[in-house]
Structure 1
Amino acid sequence: MKNMLKKALTTAMFVGVLAGCASEEDTIIMSPVPQVDSKFTPASQWSASVGNGVGEYYSKLTPEYAYGKVFVASRDGVVKAFDPENGKTLWEAEVEADVTARLAGGITAGYSQLFIGSENGTVLALDEETGELNWQTQIDGEVLTAPATDNNLVIVHTNDGMLIALEQETGNIKWTISTEVPNLTLRGNSKPVTASGGVFWGTANGRLAAAIVERGQLIWQQPIGMPQGATEIDRLVDVDAAPLILGGSLYIAGYNGQLTAIDLRSGKPSWKRSYSSSADLASDGSRLFLVTEKDHLVAVDARSGTELWSNDQLEHRLLTAPAMIDDYVVVGDSEGYLYWLDRVSGEFVSMQQIDSSGLAVAPITVPGGYVLVTRDGDVKKLTINE
């Protein structure tokens, strides 16, 4: 088992398990690999690589499919565009070559460009067709999550509680919003999400915030978790998951907080359920799927919050966020296993070890299959071979 840590304090370089501060009898033990009678196996369409990947660093560099291309980046600054059909490299760029790039958070495509941030506080815009650097802007704070795009703006969330909007053509700062950051927080940030002229994001002090995209005016903040407990670790309430919008509702989960459904018109909660998570949610339209802080997989009804099933067989295996591929809920783990679960029952359908270096992010769907990136930077397109 890799000694990789999943949830870390802001000062840590690697992903950290909070139980490292616990007593010996509280030590967290990773569940063994479950026995799964796989009903299908993946068929490889092509494989490639991008730099040195992310290694054991906290860099959730999720790939992006847009403009008929697959875009992938490595922490050390290599960005590539691949043909999704055959894996041919269409272009390759190296950003911030004079320093350690420390790219993080993932790629966002928009306005015929790619946007990506770094732990160095740099936001970069690359031409999607050529990989040419259009602009780069230095801001205060690390950018640990993918940007959002809306209203000709690129919106980034930094680890020091700033939401910053940059003009997509120039990279010039248009507005900033500041939120409170406690002395001790998890390593990570909530990706902002836009809808109906608003931008929504989770904060380190346990809230969901909403603002007007055009002006950067804060509208409201809704508490998702309240600090409780005797120690600072017990009182962590970060909302690091990206908000998920389905119709007129927004769903968000917090660490030591709650899974909450919020009506977008009123900004008021429709229901709350006690689940602690810092991972992004997935949905099939009627169900929500989440990975808890103990790496339990849970499905709830999106309308009522009623729990539909829970699977605890992957406890503490350092799972990725869940993804929906075809009709399956899919997660990866730190030892490179990919698990497929029935979305209705939560039972395992298939399992494969993809790469022993491990998986930090979930696969993404592309035409004719799905693409995943390992921690070592291997890029693979696979299809389900039933």
Structure 2
Amino acid sequence: MKKMLKRAITAAAMVGILAGCASEEDTVIMAPVPKVKSEFTPKSLWSASVGGGVEQYFSKLAPAYAYDKVFVASRDGLVKALNPENGRTLWQQDLEQDVSARLSGGITAAYSQIFIGSENGQVIALSEETGAVNWRVDVDGEVLAAPATDDNLVMVHTTTGMLIALEQATGDVKWKVSTEVPNLTLRGDSAPVAVSGGVFWGTAGGRLAAAIIESGQLIWQQPIGTPQGATEIDRLVDVDASPLILGSTLYIVGYNGQLTAIDLRSGKPMWKRKYSSSTNLASDTKRIYLVTDKDHLIAVDARSGTELWANDQLENRLLTAPFVIDGYVVVGDTQGYLHWLDRESGEFVAQQQINSSGFAVAPIKLDDGYVIVTRNGQVKKLTLTQ
């Protein structure tokens, strides 16, 4: 399914265009909920809420765990710090001003602050201790992806193809890097990743870019996908997934592109495999897990890229990025189910419906459990420990 197109085409117009071109064979059908005999049922430790959540909007507001707090946010601007032991609110901040805050990029915790971006083209820094707003700055374009932090900088990737480095203490711009943005792209952007003095991110033009953090100098761009086809939709090659780094190897995947392993020292590909995805990768260090554009779950060997298993039983269920919890691969879907798979075989081992509003983001791991946030803002801490 061509998910969430942006730039110059409204949702209504897009539906009309696609409906006019579609045949019965082109109809997208969501797979039914697989019948699974659950081997376990997670225990709920506490439940909380964060406003109305993100509802059905495109807002990748994954929670964050840092400074012994769980940070959550809603699209309309409510930000909370929760006690990880009992879910009680430690502080809350409302970032809505004259219009909806439209929070969508974040949450990232560093430098005793949390950083969040918005569709209004703002980056906001809050004190992790009190929730007070330390600074709020305007940037060029929407911020749909979580910022990266390193070397006292906050680096944000915007929909205009800019990677912008802000001083963490003041929000002042230190440098900018610009990359090409095609006329038509997917709704979403790659969250940058910083490591060893470099920052890496995917671009809307189908490339993985690398720059020096200190100066913003662009080092190289590696093609992940090449535009092909007769229409602009066929030629979409966005790299919206965040790079995944294991040791000295970087893994990245693109829409209509390839899953690629890149040596960080040389910037050269080690292997490539034909997969199409716009969703973040997950790993247990031995295997790379991905969700394809058809919502097939795939596991490949991290060293060679050899496919180990594939599970297509959740096709078109609008899955979250995969996540590894207690040795299982976990994904959420649009109807609020969590699906647990054996990481060795890809077979289902458990399933629960948490909330019918569905999931937009994967769970996050805590020391003694994990936290999930549903689209309607329900926050839960669960554990598999009996």
2:5 matched to which residue of 1? Answer: 8
1:139 matched to which residue of 2? Answer: 139
Give the C-alpha shift of residue 27 in structure 1. 1.0
Letter in 2 for 1:227: P
Letter in 2 for 1:151: D
2:294 matched to which residue of 1? Answer: 294
Query: Are 2:284 and 1:284 aligned?
Result: yes
Give the C-alpha shift of residue 317 in structure 1. 0.3
Over residues 181-226 of structure 1, what are the superposed CA-to-partner deviations in whole Å (9 max), with x where a residue is unaligned? 0000000000000111000000000000000000000000000000
Over residues 13-51 of structure 1, what are the superposed CA-to-partner deviations in whole Å (9 max), with x where a residue is unaligned? 779899657413201100000000100112111111101
TM-score norm. by structure 1 comes to 0.96
2:76 matched to which residue of 1? Answer: 76
Residues 248 and 305 of structure 1: CA distance in aligned 2, closer, same or farther (over 3 Å): same
Residues 283 and 44 of structure 1: CA distance in aligned 2, closer, same or farther (over 3 Å): same
Name stretches of at least 5 consecutive residues in structure 2 with no aligned partner: none
1:107 matched to which residue of 2? Answer: 107
Give the C-alpha shift of residue 98 in structure 1. 2.5
Equivalences, count: 383
2:63 matched to which residue of 1? Answer: 63
Give the C-alpha shift of residue 368 in structure 1. 1.5
Name stretches of at least 5 consecutive residues in structure 1 with no aligned partner: none
Check conservation: 2:289, 2:297, Cα contact below 8 A.
yes
DSSP 3-state at the match of 2:60: coil
Letter in 1 for 2:4: K
Residues 20 and 249 of structure 1: CA distance in aligned 2, closer, same or farther (over 3 Å): farther
2:193 matched to which residue of 1? Answer: 193
Give the C-alpha shift of residue 7 in structure 1. 3.1
Runs of 4+ residues deviating >4 angstroms: 11-22
TM-score norm. by structure 2 comes to 0.96
**In the TM superposition, what are the counterparts of 1:1-386 in structure 2 within 5 Å?**
6-11=3-8, 22-25=21-24, 26-384=26-384
Residues 337 and 201 of structure 1: CA distance in aligned 2, closer, same or farther (over 3 Å): same
Letter in 1 for 2:298: V
Report the Cα distance in structure 1 between the residues aligned to 2:82 and 2:8, rounded to whole angstroms. 35
Check conservation: 1:69, 1:84, Cα contact below 8 A.
yes
Over residues 237-265 of structure 1, what are the superposed CA-to-partner deviations in whole Å (9 max), with x where a residue is unaligned? 00000000000100000000000000000
Residues 20 and 248 of structure 1: CA distance in aligned 2, closer, same or farther (over 3 Å): farther
Report the Cα distance in structure 1 between the residues aligned to 2:100 and 2:152, rounded to whole angstroms. 29
Letter in 2 for 1:252: I
Over residues 98-145 of structure 1, what are the superposed CA-to-partner deviations in whole Å (9 max), with x where a residue is unaligned? 221000022000000000000000000000000000001111100000
Report the Cα distance in structure 2 between the residues aligned to 1:212 and 1:14, rounded to whole angstroms. 38
Give the C-alpha shift of residue 379 in structure 1. 0.5
Over residues 37-66 of structure 1, what are the superposed CA-to-partner deviations in whole Å (9 max), with x where a residue is unaligned? 100112111111101100110001000000
Letter in 2 for 1:320: T
Letter in 1 for 2:100: T
Seq. identity, %? 72
C-alpha RMSD of matched pairs (Å) = 1.7
Check conservation: 2:197, 2:214, Cα contact below 8 A.
yes
DSSP 3-state at the match of 2:239: coil
